[in-house]
Chain A
Amino acid sequence: MRATFIESLSQAASENPDIWLLCGDLGYSVLEPFAAKFPDRYLNVGVAEQNMAGIAAGIALSGKTVFIYSIGNFPTLRCLEQLRNDVCYHGADVKVVAVGAGYAYGSQGYTHHALEDAGIMSMLPGIEVFVPCDPMEVRAATRLIAASGKPSYLRLSRQGEPNLGSAAITDIRKPRVLREGRDVVILASGPIASRALDAAGELAGRGRDVGVVSVSCLKPLDEAAIHDAVRNASLVVTLEEHILRGGLFSLVASALAGDTMRPPVTGIGIPEQGGKTSSAGSREALLDAAGLSVEAIVARIEQAPVQR
């Protein structure tokens, strides 16, 4: 995802001389192609995210489009008030790009796990939030935010994620069907969607009709499209590499809340850490331990109450 992002951004920057990229001293082996090609529009501001966000706002308020890049919680939570006041309140054309969605940094530990970021970013006024599930969606989202003129958040995983669909993406703001199926519909955001596909395959073998839809644009959420995607379903499941509060589950449940005919919505996400310490482990092991193994997802769906 990181490589796809920087390729897409470089392409956009070659077409638009007003695109800048700032980083907070992170992005080794990722950002170099951009830095080499556009040295006058690339800046490593140092390990100082509040300053980076404020500088980005100042450059954007001078007529530019500014991407800021760092790991998970650093360009988001560390400088949250700068994003709220300096970027969003002024409608400054700043794009926050965080790498390391969810457990992507695995054994690096809790400080490097981005578990609340998408929800917190979604609460900021006027921002658009994208959680792509694969490189195709990264490319589409990067192209869109580079030209949107709006504050944006792009949540990336790390590297090596496979494409989960083949059809061309025409509108990244719309949910994207990864697997047809109408009885159970799994709405997923981010690369965890691959586990949704595996679970759907397993359930199909047990006679269930399960669809999988990637919801990469959390804000603005296309509520009409969500309603269409779950029409006639007996169960809606949301799956995210994020806590349930404020993330995909919250947004989908809110969108469907006023629908008297809505199917039940089961949210599957990462439990809040609370006071417990985090263990070492690969992303896959941490997801399994958090109850997001394919087997656990299948079990949750089989046990979930459905609409009769």
Chain B
Amino acid sequence: MVHAAKASHIGGCLSMADILAVLYTRILRLDPAEPQSPIRDRFVLSKGHATAIMYATLAECGFFSPAELDSYCRDGSIFTGHVSHAVPGVEVSTGSLGHGLPIAIGMALAARSASAGSRVFCLLSDGECDEGSNWEGILFAPHHKLDNLCVIVDFNKIQSFGSVAEVLNLDPFAEKWTAFGWHVEEIDGHDVVALERVLGALPAPSGRPTVVIAHTVKGKGVSFMENKLEWHYRSPSDELLAQALAEVGV
């Protein structure tokens, strides 16, 4: 998709691929035949730029035909370069960072009020944690004991213009969430067994919201993309695409 459309953000797509795979195959209670069911779980992609992997996941899960992905970023397509709720299965459009978590909190409050049993998952990027609006939400959710809310941070350590450590250091990251009152899980974000274990534990027995700090590798699975800032922007050539597909075994 990214190659054909000459689009960007493949690095941040690959870092969260395992997270989406576990969420959509093992965790989320969703029915592609009834995408608006009021008792569904919600997934809010706050790092809306990493949308190619989101659309691909939804296609794999049967929300629409994989053939439709060929229109990604093309004229007139619903598949825009930042995630769009025009696409079946997408809850909200994002792209400007720092928007997803407050929306997810609202959904978690509504679900609790309705006793619907729905759980809400929200995926943030690490660079996105620079946004103050997130910290308003991070303060709010534990105060209201939103145990049906789970934030996942795709902590690949590279943001738009450099490493997280260089641009605006988040460390000590887990300690910040703990101090705000969250139940913190810190795992290898490519360990699918660990992902299933922590994501499947909602609602959290502690009565607190959960954050999963998922340590990931930007460009995971493709040797020349791994931990390379440039793959936030570049689109692979024909040759590099062939190499990348060979490396990930497609």
Closest chain A residue, CB of each to CB of B131: A50
Contact with A along B177-189 (1 / 0, CB 8 A): 0000000000000
Q: Is the CB of B96 within 8 A of A85?
A: yes
Find chain A residues with CB under 8 A from B96 CB.
81, 85
Q: Is the CB of B140 within 8 A of A50?
A: no
A39 shortest CB reach to chain B, Å: 12
Q: Is the CB of B85 within 8 A of A90?
A: yes
**Whole-angstrom distance between the alpha carbons of A43 and B108 in the complex?**
14
Closest chain B residue, CB of each to CB of A84: B96
The reply to whether the CB of B50 lies closer than 8 angstroms to some CB of chain A is no
Find chain A residues with CB under 8 A from B132 CB.
50
Contact with B along A54-89 (1 / 0, CB 8 A): 111111111110100000000000000110011001
**Whole-angstrom distance between the alpha carbons of A86 and B101 in the complex?**
11
A11 shortest CB reach to chain B, Å: 21
Closest chain A residue, CB of each to CB of B109: A59
Find chain B residues with CB under 8 A from A51 CB.
102, 105, 133, 136-137, 140
Find chain B residues with CB under 8 A from A62 CB.
38, 106-107, 110-111, 114
Q: Is the CB of B99 within 8 A of A61?
A: no
Q: Is the CB of A85 within 8 A of B93?
A: yes
Our pick among B95, B98, B110, B139 for the contact of A58 (Cβ within 8 Å) is B110
Q: Is the CB of A57 within 8 A of B106?
A: yes
Q: Is the CB of B105 within 8 A of A61?
A: no
Find chain B residues with CB under 8 A from A82 CB.
99, 102, 133
Find chain B residues with CB under 8 A from A64 CB.
110
Closest chain A residue, CB of each to CB of B102: A54
The reply to whether the CB of A46 lies closer than 8 angstroms to some CB of chain B is yes
A292 shortest CB reach to chain B, Å: 37
**Whole-angstrom distance between the alpha carbons of A235 and B245 in the complex?**
72
Q: Is the CB of A55 within 8 A of B106?
A: yes
**Whole-angstrom distance between the alpha carbons of A53 and B137 in the complex?**
11
What number of A-B contacts does a CB cutoff of 8 Å give? 90
Find chain A residues with CB under 8 A from B98 CB.
50
The reply to whether the CB of A45 lies closer than 8 angstroms to some CB of chain B is yes
A51, A57, A61, A63 — which one has the most chain B CB atoms within 10 A of its CB? A51
Q: Is the CB of B105 within 8 A of A55?
A: yes
Find chain B residues with CB under 8 A from A46 CB.
136, 139-140
Q: Is the CB of B110 within 8 A of A89?
A: no
Our pick among A40, A43, A45, A54 for the contact of B103 (Cβ within 8 Å) is A54
Find chain B residues with CB under 8 A from A59 CB.
106-107, 109-110
Find chain B residues with CB under 8 A from A50 CB.
98, 102, 132-133, 136
Find chain B residues with CB under 8 A from A53 CB.
102
Known: A58-B106, A61-B103. A48 touches B93 (CB 8 A): no
Known: A40-B113, A48-B136, A59-B106. A54 touches B99 (CB 8 A): yes
**Whole-angstrom distance between the alpha carbons of A48 and B105 in the complex?**
13
Q: Is the CB of A54 within 8 A of B93?
A: no
A301 shortest CB reach to chain B, Å: 45
B38 shortest CB reach to chain A, Å: 7
Closest chain B residue, CB of each to CB of A47: B136
B88 shortest CB reach to chain A, Å: 15
A63 shortest CB reach to chain B, Å: 7
B95, B102, B110, B114 — which one has the most chain A CB atoms within 10 A of its CB? B102
> Which residues of A (148-200) have their CB < 8 Å from a CB of B?
none
A45, A55, A60, A64 — which one has the most chain B CB atoms within 10 A of its CB? A55
**Whole-angstrom distance between the alpha carbons of A55 and B133 in the complex?**
11
Find chain A residues with CB under 8 A from B28 CB.
none
A167 shortest CB reach to chain B, Å: 40
A69 shortest CB reach to chain B, Å: 16
Known: A48-B140, A63-B38, A86-B92. A54 touches B107 (CB 8 A): no
Known: A51-B133, A51-B136. A61 touches B91 (CB 8 A): yes
B85, B94, B103, B111 — which one has the most chain A CB atoms within 10 A of its CB? B103
**Whole-angstrom distance between the alpha carbons of A35 and B110 in the complex?**
17
B182 shortest CB reach to chain A, Å: 16
A-B contact pairs, 12 of them (CB 8 A): A46-B140, A54-B101, A55-B137, A58-B102, A58-B103, A58-B107, A59-B109, A61-B107, A62-B111, A81-B99, A82-B99, A82-B133
Which 3 pairs of residues, A with B, have the shortest CB-CB distance? Answer: A58-B106, A54-B102, A62-B110
Binding site for B on A (CB under 8 A): 40-41, 43, 45-46, 48, 50-64, 66, 81-82, 85-86, 89-90
